[in-house]
């Protein structure tokens, strides 16, 4: 029986209407996962989006850096195909 490896992936929940587009999370992400949206939120700001989710290593730098606590991190276990 072949070993099935568990691969961890990470999902960020970003409160786009709370985000003010300060870019701190983008600047501090070591893996360049985040970028600003093209669209505007309710406040008229661009907001942070997870542009390259596969590159996220779950370091939580973005969660800790956000001054408005807009980001939550979730870990998902997936079987490697
Ligand atoms: S958890 Fe780390 S790698 Fe993932 S988006 Fe946030 S700062 Fe980047
Ligand atoms: S640090 Fe927070 S407020 Fe600033 S761009 Fe990122 S999610 Fe938005």
**Ligand 2 pocket at CB < 6 A:** 14, 19-25, 47-48, 65-66, 68, 70-71
- Whether the pTM exceeds 0.85: the reply is yes
Least confident of 1-5, 70-74, 76-80: 1-5
For residue 56, the model assigns a pLDDT of: 98
Among 67, 32, 78, 64, which residue's Cα sits nearest to residue 51? 32
Domain that holds residue 71: 6-79
Q: What is the pLDDT of residues 10-63, one digit of tens each?
A: 999 999 999 999 999 999 999 999 999 999 999 999 999 999 999 999 999 999
For residue 1, the model assigns a pLDDT of: 55
Q: Is 65 in the pocket of ligand 1 (CB under 6 A)?
A: no
CATH of the domain at 36: 3.30.70.20
Q: Is 73 in the pocket of ligand 1 (CB under 6 A)?
A: yes
Smallest CA separation from ligand 1 atom 3, residue: 56
In the reported structure, the alpha carbon of residue 5 is separated from the centroid of ligand 1 by a whole-number distance in angstroms of: 22
Domain count across the chain: 1
Name the CA dihedral angle for 17, 49, 71, 64, rounded to a multiple of 10 degrees: -130
Residue 1 located in a structural domain: no
């Amino acid at each position: 029986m072949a070993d099935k490896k568990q691969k961890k992936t990470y999902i960020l929940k970003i409160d786009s209407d709370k985000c003010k587009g300060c870019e701190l999370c983008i600047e501090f992400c070591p893996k360049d996962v985040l970028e600003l949206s093209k669209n505007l939120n309710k406040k008229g700001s661009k907001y942070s989006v997870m542009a390259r989710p596969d590159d996220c290593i779950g370091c939580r730098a973005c969660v800790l850096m956000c001054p408005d606590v807009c980001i939550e991190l979730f870990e998902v276990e997936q079987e490697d195909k």
